[in-house]
């Protein structure tokens, strides 16, 4: 089972901060995960929430500030926000994989995936097998299939979808499927559905990590990557 540091080593350091990614990349794990949004001037920034209130010393929507304004904000421990470009530079030629979640809905619509592809191409990583795109949006998955068909695309299934999509129809033809730990325990038969690899989030307790491993989860996203290293047999 592959271990992915969710928002970097976010269980110990400020989430999505340079330090969180730096520390995660020091570990012998499979990869790291990040979320991206667009600033008002079209920069691809690494940030989870649509607003700044929870994780920074400011408030308001990410999409209403320029990158110059965003880069001055603090996100805990003296850390700052990153551009996707900067994170790709940190990844460099390391063996770690990068799972990039495009956040929707957003006011920029289709532009987010387009800009993600441009940044990957600029960094020389568009054809790199270490790059994976993940999203809760079928539309975003379909869009990525057109923009960069060779990039791995993982559709993240929402917990409520098990009630409305019982046949588990793949509306966007992803190359992998994601589910929460809650859905996995309620519907373990969905692990490995359609013969696709399963990405499961967010698993921080050793007993849950062992359960995921025993039940065939392929990729485990965790805020506690060091706990995962000790909890499961690699």
> Residue ranges of the domains in the chain?
2-231
pLDDT at 158: 83
Bridge partners (DSSP) of residue 134 are 101, 154
∠ CA 87-63-91, nearest 5°, is 5
pLDDT of residue 55: 96
Average pLDDT, integer, range 184-188: 94
* C-alpha closest to that of 190 among 209, 213, 167: 167
Would you tell me which CATH number, out of the four given (3.40.50.300, 3.20.20.190, 3.90.79.10, 3.40.50.970), belongs to the domain 2-231? 3.20.20.190
DSSP state of 95: S
187-214 per-position pLDDT tens digit: 999 999 999 999 999 999 999 999 999 9
- Supply the pLDDT for residue 166: 61
Q: Where does the pLDDT of residue 234 fall: very low under 50, low under 70, confident under 90, or very high at 90 and above?
A: low
Q: What is the CA radius of gyration of the chain?
A: 17
Phi/psi for 192 (5° steps) reads 80, 15
Q: How far apart are CA 40 and CA 38, in angstroms?
A: 7
Any bridge partners for residue 201, and if so which? 180
> For the chain, what percent of residues have pLDDT higher than 70?
96
Any idea what DSSP says for residue 60?
S
What average pLDDT does the structure give for the chain? 94
pLDDT at 198: 98
Tell whether the model's pLDDT for residue 45 goes beyond 60: yes
Cα 220 from chain centroid (whole Å): 11
User: Given its phi and psi angles, is residue 46 left (phi above 0), alpha (psi -120 to 50 degrees) or beta?
Assistant: beta
CB contact at 8 A, 116 and 133: yes
In which band, very low, low, confident or very high, does the pLDDT at 168 lie, cut at 50, 70 and 90?
Answer: low
Considering only CA atoms, which of 180, 110, 103, 165 is closest in space to residue 134? 103
pLDDT of residue 170: 79
Q: What is the mean pLDDT of residues 133-157?
A: 96
Q: Is the pTM higher than 0.85?
A: yes
Rounded to 5°, the CA angle 76-82-84 comes to 150
Give me the mean pLDDT over the 148-158 stretch: 95
Please name every residue paired with 127 in a beta bridge, in sequence order, or none if there are none.
Answer: none
Mean pLDDT of 33-61: 97
pLDDT value of residue 167: 60
Would you call 224 helix, strand, or coil by DSSP? coil
Give the pLDDT confidence of 64-122 residue by residue, as tens digits: 999 999 999 999 889 999 999 999 999 999 999 999 999 998 777 789 999 999 999 99
Pairing of strands 2-6, 176-180: unpaired
Query: How confident is residue 171, by pLDDT bands cut at 50, 70 and 90?
Result: confident
Nearest to 145 by CA among 177, 120, 117, 169: 117
Going from the C-alpha of 109 to that of each of 137, 144, 196, the distances in angstroms are 11, 13, 28
């Amino acid at each position: 089972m592959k271990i992915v540091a969710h928002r970097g080593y976010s269980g110990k350091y400020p989430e999505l901060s340079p330090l969180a990614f730096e520390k995660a990349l020091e570990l012998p794990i499979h990869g790291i995960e990040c979320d991206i949004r667009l600033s008002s001037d079209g920069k691809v920034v690494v940030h989870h929430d649509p607003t700044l209130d929870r994780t920074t010393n400011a408030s308001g929507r990410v999409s209403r500030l320029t990158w110059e304004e965003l880069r001055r904000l603090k996100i805990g421990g003296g850390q700052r926000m990153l551009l996707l470009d900067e994170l790709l530079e940190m990844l460099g030629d390391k063996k770690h994989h990068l799972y990039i979640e495009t956040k929707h809905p957003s006011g920029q619509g289709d532009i987010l995936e387009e800009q993600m592809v441009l940044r990957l191409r600029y960094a020389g990583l568009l054809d790199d097998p270490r790059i994976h795109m993940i999203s809760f949006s079928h539309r975003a998955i379909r869009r990525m299939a057109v923009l960069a068909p060779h990039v791995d695309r993982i559709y993240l299934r929402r917990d409520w979808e098990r009630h409305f999509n019982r046949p588990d129809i793949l509306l966007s033809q992803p190359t992998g499927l994601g589910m929460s730990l809650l859905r996995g325990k309620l519907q373990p038969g969905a692990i490995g559905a359609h013969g696709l690899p399963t990405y499961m989030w967010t698993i921080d307790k050793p007993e849950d990590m062992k359960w995921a491993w025993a039940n065939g989860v392929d990729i485990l996203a965790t805020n506690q990557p060091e706990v995962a290293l000790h909890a499961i047999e690699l």
